[in-house]
Structure 1
Amino acid sequence: MLAKRMSSPHVPGLCLLLVALMGSPARADDCRMTLSEPRVDYGVIRPSQASSSRATLTLDTQRTLHLSVLCTNPAAMALRFSGVPADAQGFQFGRQGRFTLSLRQAQVDGQSVTWQPDETGGGRLLPGRALYANAAGVAVTGRRLTAQVEIEVQLPADALQVRREMLLEGHGQFELVSPAAP
């Protein structure tokens, strides 16, 4: 779940942001998925902690989590994030904001892998799409997948102009979508 609290009539633009993401039980019965932090609390956010780009602002406090999948038998490693889509590039955060998730430094059994298809070129998990681990264009199977998950939050430019505390939420879960390899 992603959550943002906008706060205090005395301090316009003050808000608290909380991100919570869950790892679902892996699809294959013999796999277990873990996420280093199922909830990420950004604490109090002020306008000076965001970069404005026209109608949207991006929080400068990007977070990185560690994702791990451990299987007792080799499995083809493919991940999907299920959440409410904001658009084709990210997931809903509050009524008008969005968050994006990118998988970095991925390894299967200690071997560096890339993601297919990767339209964004950055390992970004897109709504309704799965990313498949591969090396040299070939799907990779293994027992252990590790990756860093980078979270970026974008909000409408006026999101920090509030008179009272508000909570914005977004949520979803990671899923291992590939069956165990024979």
Structure 2
Amino acid sequence: MNEWRIGCLKGLGLLLSCLLLAAPASAANCRLSLSQPIIDYGLLRPGEQLENRGASLGKRMVRLNVICVEAAVIALRFQGVPANETGYRFGRQGFFNLTLQHPQLDGKPIELAQWHNPTERDAQLRPGQSLVVLVGGAPARGHAFSAQVQVDTWLSSAATAVGNKTTYEGNGRFELVSGG
């Protein structure tokens, strides 16, 4: 599993960052890792204009890799505090979504699907759901999985209307799922 954290500081400014930490994977013969431990969204200063409905803090990419000693069916989930059916909480008034892009198994492009419904092709890691690697429409075994994780973070306009420095955080962890 890999811990992930987004932080944000507002008032004199709004500082946004993600912390991604590597931790032991749940599948004994596999190791899960991320390319970087911190994503820094920078500083949002008071007076910067945001849309009435909120602001996208932009998309950031992190590389996710799974290496297995023995070939294994690779399934992943992200454990975090749900904000809605598609994303995870970022502070009290924001959320972030995680989408896997360019997934590969042993160097070849593959598809991803919901673990409990392989006919539902999906690349977004949603709360309470797991994604499984598919080749030819069926769960596939392999030694090396890689994908780019697109992190898309949003803040409500109300979240930026504070007078003091304020920290917003979102966190969770990537996990390998064995048996779904």
Give the TM-score band, short-chain normalised.
0.7 to 0.9
| Equivalent of residue 55 in structure 1, options 38, 53, 60 | 53
Secondary structure, in 3 states, of the residue corresponding to 2:24? coil
1:30 is displaced (CA, Å) by: 1.2
CA distance in 2, matches of 1:26, 1:151: 21
1:89 maps to: 86
> Is structure 2 residue 133 aligned with structure 1 residue 133?
yes
Taking structure 2 as the reference length, what is the TM-score of the superposition? 0.86
> Is structure 2 residue 40 aligned with structure 1 residue 41?
yes
Letter in 2 for 1:109: D
CA distance in 2, matches of 1:37, 1:26: 17
The alignment-based identity, stated in percent, is 36
Taking structure 1 as the reference length, what is the TM-score of the superposition? 0.85
Letter in 2 for 1:98: F
1:157 is displaced (CA, Å) by: 1.8
Name the Cα RMSD after superposition: 2.3
CA distance in 2, matches of 1:41, 1:115: 28
Q: What are the ranges of 5 or more consecutive residues in structure 1 without an aligned counterpart?
A: 9-13
Secondary structure, in 3 states, of the residue corresponding to 2:154? strand
1:11 maps to: none
CA distance in 2, matches of 1:114, 1:47: 43
Could you tell which deviates more after superposition, 15-24 or 107-116? 15-24
CA distance in 1, matches of 2:72, 2:38: 27
Q: For the Cα contact (< 8 Å) 1:23–1:175, is it kept in 2?
A: no
Summarize the alignment of residues 92-103 of structure 1 with structure 2, pairs less than 5 Å apart.
92-103=89-100
2:71 maps to: 74
Q: For the Cα contact (< 8 Å) 2:93–2:158, is it kept in 1?
A: no
CA distance in 2, matches of 1:88, 1:126: 7
Q: For the Cα contact (< 8 Å) 1:22–1:172, is it kept in 2?
A: no
Could you tell which deviates more after superposition, 136-145 or 75-84? 136-145
CA distance in 2, matches of 1:121, 1:141: 18
Could you tell which deviates more after superposition, 86-95 or 37-46? 37-46
Letter in 1 for 2:56: T
Q: For the Cα contact (< 8 Å) 1:3–1:19, is it kept in 2?
A: yes
CA distance in 2, matches of 1:50, 1:72: 50
**1:79/1:23 CA distance change after superposition, 3 Å:** farther
1:74 is displaced (CA, Å) by: 0.4
CA distances 1:62-102 after superposition (whole Å, capped 9, x unpaired): 11000000010001011000001111110011012111100
Summarize the alignment of residues 1-182 of structure 1 with structure 2, pairs less than 5 Å apart.
1-8=5-12, 14-46=13-45, 52=51, 54-59=52-57, 61-117=58-114, 123-178=123-178
CA distance in 2, matches of 1:114, 1:66: 17
